[in-house]
Amino acid sequence: MRTCELRGWLLNSVPMNDATDLLKSVRDTSNETEFYTPFPDGYKTGKTKYIAVFGTVMSGLGKGIFSSSLAKLLKDKGLRVSPIKLEGYLNIDSGTLNPFRHGEVFVLDDGMETDMDLGTYERMLDQDLSRHNFTTSGQIYSTILNKERAGGYLGRDVQMIPHVTGEVKYRLRELAVQTDADVVFVEVGGTVGDIENSFYIEALRELSYEEGEGQVLFAALTYILDPPALGEQKSKAAQLGIKRLMEYGIHPHLIACRAEKEVGEKVRQKISIYTNVPVTRVFSMHDLPSIYLLPGKMRQAGLDSEIIQMLGLGGRVNSAVEMKNAAQWEEFAKKIGKADRTVTIGITGKYVTLRDSYASIIKALEHAGVTNDVKVDIRWIETTEITDANVAEALAGVDGIIVPGGFGVRGTEGKIACIKYARENYLPYLGICLGFQMAVVEFARNVCGLAEAGSTEITPDCTDPVISILPEQKKIEGLGGNMRLGGQEVTITPDTIAADLFGGAEHIRQRFRHRYEVDPRYIEQLEAEGLIFSGRHPVHPIMQILELPHGTHPYFVAAQFHPELTSRPLRPQPMFVGLVAAAKKQPKS
């Protein structure tokens, strides 16, 4: 008997107290049955539907973009959706990953450091996620091993099936309960055939079996080759990739074909024949000027209607809400790339050879560009070789610059040179995290006369550590050796640029990821020379926004937090809006 069937039989046939005890036994051990299906308290089979998204052929196809766009269409219909990313690596989170290897680290409001795809979900869905929306193999294995050491399996040999796959299913169902989701979107990281994600695939096959027909929908992303020498699109690699998925027992209901150009009808027919997926559900996910155009393409192809029908969600759709949301998004999307004016923003960083390192900044600039009715052209500027002698040449032609976050020594002096140039030449400037700290160092050196000012992260024994880790701050924040992570309150000083940007708000909440602070011993001296700390911790002497006064510079603002993490298409982040607006006013040479 399946565990879900056993659960129903117990609840209907046994007194409630006895049934609860028996269910707990089934949940906690698999001694008496080979079925191991842990159910979180409050879970109701059939209430939540699941859509699982897999990648084939190659990585980097855009599973997060596809999944989040599909989730947005369902949310627009009034459904409650909740995504989860299942990562195959053994790290507990993404915090220690080098941006060159895995793109940016996206920090959630609760402080969880995650894969960049969580940023895609937050922006597309306009909703904050939590650590429950992100799982790694390291988390799964740690939970199981800790439970085994505590005797949680009552003598059973702990195995990949059913215990590891059972833990995966439990987390999916737990997310369903916690978020009261109509649909949980499950994105499996990596590519089908990778050893590290195979247990996730098996868990989803089991989930489909246990939840029953019409409860779980499988979607596969594949890649259509278009060799220039052949002059036609080829689908063989896609066919073999999907065949590999089917060998796991996963038969897709929906297929998205990634390609540079729109996938032709004949290729879609071939994919349909080889997979038993109707051609109406074989979708051409070709390159677009912006990912924000994808939901509209999906709606035109009728994918949302197909899903509603397959999952039996028609009774939960709110047509009035859908019309309003679709019109609002269409109004935003039709402005993308249509502006006549272009501004050039330089991103002066140390990871610029991999654009994904700054994914959220790129999207925040896109949001701000639409708001300001301009196209934003990004110029990537590596700071490692920049000095005071060549900075003018490096920044020639840009209308504004961003100095983004980062860790370590490399490239910091180049960033300081860029900041000095922006301050002295009235070039709009936005500093983020390390960009905030380096702005303090630059101002201390070149305005306050503290020639040896620095950060103890970069120069531990510097004469004037205007940026440092302070023992009292460690104690205040309870940080120890860890970073200050996640959402924190910021108090805004009235009658400042920051106050104008945030609509006169006295308090805002932003996301942080840093260890080092402005040393309070230098605050009075910095302010006496004209630097304004317009955002502070509500209680402690922790500086969180700085600016130059109204009228002294077109736009010189920096934040200790990461404003890019909270920018949304329909709610652009004010600090980026301000930067692009100032850049738009720059005189053209």
Residue 14, pLDDT score: 43
325 vs 353, higher pLDDT: 325
Instruction: Tell whether the model's pLDDT for residue 6 goes beyond 50.
Output: no
pLDDT-above-70 percentage for the chain: 91
| pTM of the model as a whole | 0.91
The dihedral of CA 413, 414, 418, 424: what is its sign? positive
**What DSSP character marks residue 493?**
P
264-303: pLDDT as tens digits: 999 999 999 999 999 999 999 999 999 999 999 999 999 9
If residue 364 lies in a helix (H) or strand (E), which one and from where to where?
helix 359-371
Q: Cβ of 236: how many Cβ atoms within 10 Å?
A: 11
451-502: pLDDT as tens digits: 999 999 889 999 999 999 866 555 555 444 467 899 999 999 999 999 999 9
Instruction: Tell whether the model's pLDDT for residue 168 goes beyond 70.
Output: yes
For the domain made up of 45-144+178-332, the CATH class stated in words is alpha beta
462 vs 589, higher pLDDT: 462
User: Which of 113, 187, 457, 564 is the catalytic position?
Assistant: 564
Which token pair is 120?
């895609």
**What DSSP character marks residue 357?**
G
What DSSP line would sit under 45-73, residue for residue?
A: TTTSEEEEEEE-SSS-S-HHHHHHHHHHH
Rounded average pLDDT over 377-381: 95
User: How sure is the predictor about 11, in pLDDT bands with cuts at 50, 70 and 90?
Assistant: very low
Our answer to whether residue 562 is catalytic in this structure is: yes
* CA 551/CA 146 separation, integer angstroms: 59
Which token pair is 122?
């937050």
Using DSSP's 3-state secondary structure scheme, residue 345 falls into strand
Enumerate the β-bridge partners of residue 487: 511
User: Which of 433, 442, 457, 514 is the catalytic position?
Assistant: 433
| Inter-helix orientation angle 319-333/294-301, to 10° | 130
Phi, psi values for residue 323, rounded to 5°: -60, -45
Rounded average pLDDT over 65-89: 97
What DSSP line would sit under 312-330, residue for residue?
A: T-GGG--HHHHHHHHHHHH
On the question of a common fold for 45-144+178-332 and 342-584, the answer reads yes
Are 122 and 68 contacting, i.e. CB atoms less than 8 angstroms apart?
Answer: no
User: How sure is the predictor about 583, in pLDDT bands with cuts at 50, 70 and 90?
Assistant: very high
The matching CATH number, chosen from 3.90.640.10, 1.10.760.10, 3.40.50.880, 3.30.420.590, for 342-584 is 3.40.50.880
What DSSP line would sit under 494-543, residue for residue?
A: SSSHHHHHTTT-SEEEEEEEES-EE-GGGHHHHHHTT-EEEEE-SSSS-E
HSE (side-chain half, CA atoms, 13 Å) at 208:
20
Residues 6 or more apart whose CB falls under 8 angstroms from that of 192 comprise 54, 55, 56, 201, 220, 241, 244, 245, 248
90-125: pLDDT as tens digits: 999 988 887 767 778 999 999 999 999 999 999 999
Residue 406, pLDDT score: 80
Residue 349, pLDDT score: 83
Using DSSP's 3-state secondary structure scheme, residue 568 falls into strand
Residues 6 or more apart whose CB falls under 8 angstroms from that of 142 comprise 92
510-556: pLDDT as tens digits: 999 988 999 999 999 999 999 999 999 999 999 999 999 989 999 99
Q: How is the beta sheet containing 453-455 ordered, strand by strand?
A: 453-455, 464-468, 517-518
Are 109 and 487 contacting, i.e. CB atoms less than 8 angstroms apart?
Answer: yes
Residue 470, pLDDT score: 66
Residue 32, pLDDT score: 63
Lowest mean pLDDT among 252-266, 354-368, 391-405: 354-368
Residue 91, pLDDT score: 92
125 vs 27, higher pLDDT: 125
* CA 173/CA 161 separation, integer angstroms: 18
Q: What is the mean pLDDT of the chain?
A: 90
Rounded average pLDDT over 43-52: 96
- What is the domain partition of the chain in residue ranges? 45-144+178-332, 342-584
Supply the Cα-derived Rg of the chain in whole angstroms.
Answer: 26
HSE (side-chain half, CA atoms, 13 Å) at 254:
28
Instruction: Tell whether the model's pLDDT for residue 566 goes beyond 50.
Output: yes
User: How sure is the predictor about 31, in pLDDT bands with cuts at 50, 70 and 90?
Assistant: low
